[in-house]
Chains A and B, each alone.
Chain A
Amino acid sequence: MHGRPRKPLKPEDAAASAAKAEKLRVLQSQFLHNHHNHIYSKEAVELSTKLLETNPELYTAWNYRKLAVQHKLTENDSDPDSLKSILDEELRVVESALRQNFKSYGAWHHRKWILSKGHSSIDNELRLLDKFQKADSRNFHAWNYRRFVAASMNRSEEDELKYTEDMICNNFSNYSAWHNRSLLLSNLLKRKVEGFVSKEKVLPDEYEFVHQAIFTDPDDQSGWFYHLWLLDQTVRVDSPQLVSSWPTPGSDLILLGDRCLDGCASSPFTRFHLDSRTFPLVLYFNQAVEGVNSSTITVDSELNTNKDLVWKPLSSCNSKAAQVWVTQLNLPDGNTHSSKVFPVEVSLGHSQGIISSSGFHYSNPFCFAFRVSLQFVETQPVEALGKEIISWRDESFHNYNAHSQDSSPISSLYQLSIKNDNELTDFEWRAATIAKEIDHFRELLSLINCKIGKLTLARLLMAHDAMMCPPANKISHSEEVLELYNDLMRLDPTHVQYYKDQHSLVLLQQVTSNWESLLSRCFHYSNSPSNRGSPMCLQLKNLSLSRLGSFDKLLWVQMLDLSHNELRSIEGLEALQLLSCLNLSNNILGSFTALEPIRQLKSLRALNISYNEIGAHSIDTTKYLCSSPLSHSVGSEWNHGQTVIDDDIKSYWEAYFILKGLNLTQFDIVGNAIVNEKFKSFLIKVLPGLKWLDGEQLH
């Protein structure tokens, strides 16, 4: 079915083909008769041999042969010679069938089945494999079979490693060999087999080996993924780490009830508006973990009893693992004139239980503290969130002028390279390896202007920056990396969207990398510029962002403007638990399911998704990322039977699913194809607390 040239059938060929077809049909029907009647005579079995040698895809014939073998074995019981000859015959038939089609699943599987009866030697099998791999070194059936033989016949992994080396030296454009090599090496390293105990000793040779492939022909992809794997082995920190939190360590928080303050003497970064009786405590890890609960995390304060705290993973698809976990702490009791300070101490790592998906434990005992006080001071009601309509126009925003009071709470946000001592072991060789690779790739690029050179260099520079703990590292390569991605967009236009996404990620890292840069994007929301009590808005609009990241640095954000970008998805935004106002207008969000992270933003009151592409696409690219009636996620809300599925919900199930739990007061959706009168009345049903829809006041 592949690779046959297109040419019309000549009449004499058609006749010959029809004659062959008739013969084959007769054989097949005779065979089926034998099979259904359990006939295993010599002639019957030979008939199946003939069929399989012509058409190894006839799976029923392989089933038949297994039954025939079993039948013969029970007849001939314990005669070792006849056993051998029976199995030998099967091996011969398989080999013959493979010659007809060396990619036949049925044939390879039959051979494995025969081998499970305990026959043939490793030399014999390797000889067969050599034949096939010479014919096609990428035959993955042969490679799979090779792995099977090596495992079942106890061939050492080191010997197999040598084999991959030979294959690669013969022809480095052999992705299958590189793949096998990465598998073997990763097993040897994991088991700490002698000679493979430390990555530090093993990886340098591997880097040199793959350089030969990449540098000889940079356009051949075979070595790329192996190099990426080596890079990952070099920089990866297996054990989970805490990367950031909100509230931040050492911060002094002032929580405001639903009346705002005017002229209070604190910084807008430590002052938070909340309209519920609880506030979140957010923990952000470097990878998805399970097992975060009140036994593994202790929160010591007057506000809550630790064991009553319920920790939730912020993940889609009801997964038990997540990078970001949150629990709710009670607000201090609302005695309006008290400004008592409540200290809170959080500790983790004291008992085992937090574990990553790859099975590594969080083992770095860490403790941090912050202080909370509640204030209700009555002044004239100002722009409390949710009381008045939010306008996103430029006139409503004024640059934030930093005051000296800001510097201390601010810097705590950036001390958040929550010190992890463990990762400092091996630091030297990791850093040295990355530095050497950077040199190598700079050299490659000086000789050949190639895509893989630029892409790898960009990745290496980012890895280098990530390893150097901020804020000690003032030197960052982000400008150079952004340039590299711009180059790549020109050099390899087929993949321009991939590079754009990477560019966006680097840009956000750059913007959030230090306080000054972040501050320049912070604006007061207010109709009166002198009002220091108003919320702070982080503006990240008009940046051509196609992808979001750096959420660990943005956990404090309450008001966020991401309008006028190129976002298709907002994956990761669920980490920003304090968000109450979000502007996503003028992006390219294609469906409601792309807004899935919003379901976890319980504080969200004002949402603007106007001028996107919701309803404009027949294909929904994100619908399996969240639990829906179409996927069988355990515990999916759809199965609870409480929802009456009426016609509206059927037509708009995505919108229903995303919006139903939210407490929005303001919603803007104009400029999306899905919007019409029917949809708007559906919205009003689903969002009972809504006060403004597309700027109009509702009743």
Chain B
Amino acid sequence: MGELAADKHVKYIISVEKKKDSFESVVMEHLRLNGAYWGLTTLDILGKLDAVDEEDVISWILKCQDESGGFAGNIGHDPHVLYTLSAVQVLALFDKVDILDADKRLDKINVDKAVEYIVSCKNLDGGFGCTPGGESHAGQIFCCVGALAIAGALHHVDKDLLGWWLCERQVKSGGLNGRPEKLPDVGIFSQPNLMMEHSCRVHWINKDKLVKFILDCQDMENGGISDRPDDAVDVFHTYFGVAGLSLLEYPGLKPIDPAYALPVDVVNRIFFSKK
């Protein structure tokens, strides 16, 4: 079947972090904070978070923070919810969340209304779109179901209906696609898997075939994982590949929490130290 080339992937991630000169890299500068989350979480799952300089990372992240409290994708860009999330996640990895002014908490958010909105995005096939009426998409489903899980509102999900829609994302090659009649993609792979974890339907996906598909997407020479076998690799898919393998209980990886998409020990550390 092949194995997980963990060391190669670690090297790849570090190299991406350092290489800032290519055109692609500049074009994606605005989402570097996302990239940090993907890369660093992958390193943590592989047990190699110490390969990066914690001080460096944290001081850079703090430079991305705007006076409003939100974080931008990179220094000088506008604050945005997506990157604020990534910032908090990365700080959590380093157990430095208390650096933030923790005034912004779940109690300040109207959870009921948020749940209402998410439920309004629920479709007739059981899935969720990105706006009310939007077509079901595995990536969206991951976000919506994850949010419902965190809000303790999973009873709004029709687990059987959505479970079937999601397990039908698994195609003959073993990979998962994001929507019916589309190509399989490692990035998509992890998302339905995460959702299924929530509702105890994950056994409807054939684990062995999925593991094989992910392993086939590795670049065994230079490290990194791509969306499909033999395509170009990137940090995003490397993260989802490794996170996915963790969920599938591939040996040697730290377990990951399906709702927060962070290692379990990081999540536990936050919740149990609150008391």
Contacts and interface: CB of A to CB of B under 8 A. Distances in A.
Among B80, B135, B152, B180: residue with most chain A CB under 10 A: B152
Contacts of B255: 618-619
Contacts of B30: 57-60
Contacts of B124: 179, 182-183, 186, 229, 232
Given A3-B227, A630-B271, A138 B165 contact: no
Contacts of B22: 9, 14, 17-18, 21
A138 B230 contact: no
Interface in B125-142: 125, 129-131, 133-137
A594 interface: yes
A600 interface: no
A21 B23 contact: yes
A14 B19 CA distance: 12
Contacts of B137: 140
B168 interface: yes
Looking at chain A, what size class is its interface with the partner chain? 35 or more
Contacts of B247: 619
Contact of A175 (B134, B163, B181): B181
B216 interface: no
B249 A6 contact: no
Given A179-B136, A624-B259, A633 B152 contact: yes
Interface stretch (B54-62, B87-95, B231-239): B231-239
A25 interface: yes
A321 B134 contact: no
Interface string A227-240: 01100100000000
Nearest to B76: A32
Contacts of A54: 27
A173 B233 contact: no
B232 to A, nearest CB: 4
A288 interface: yes
A631 B152 contact: yes
A533 to B, nearest CB: 39
A6 B228 CA distance: 10
Contacts of A176: 135
B200 A631 contact: no
A135 to B, nearest CB: 15
Interface residues of B, number: 90
A207 interface: no
A699 interface: no
Given A17-B23, A228-B125, A631-B151, A621 B202 contact: yes
Interface stretch (B5-13, B96-104, B203-211): B203-211
Nearest to B224: A6
Contacts of B227: 1-3
A175 B129 CA distance: 13
A221 B180 contact: yes
Given A6-B219, A25-B26, A59-B73, A629 B272 contact: yes
Contacts of B183: 3
Given A221-B180, A222-B181, A571-B200, A179 B23 contact: no
Given A228-B125, A568-B203, 6 more contacts: A18-B21, A57-B31, A140-B137, A496-B206, A625-B199, A629-B271
Interface of A: 1-9, 14, 17-18, 20-21, 24-25, 28-29, 32, 35-36, 54-55, 57-60, 63, 138, 140, 143-144, 147, 173, 175-176, 179-180, 182-183, 186, 220-222, 224-225, 228-229, 232, 288, 315-319, 321, 357, 493-498, 501, 546, 568-569, 571, 594, 617-619, 621-622, 624-625, 627, 629-634, 636, 645, 650
10 contacts: A35-B78, A59-B77, A498-B167, A569-B200, A619-B197, A619-B247, A621-B200, A629-B271, A630-B259, A631-B259
Interface of B: 21-31, 72-73, 76-78, 80, 106, 111, 123-125, 129-131, 133-137, 149-156, 163-165, 167-168, 170, 172, 174, 179-183, 185, 187, 196-200, 202-206, 209, 219, 222, 226-228, 230-234, 236-237, 246-247, 249, 255-259, 264, 267-268, 271-272, 275
Q: 4 closest A-B pairs (Cβ-Cβ)?
A: A633-B152, A618-B255, A624-B149, A221-B180
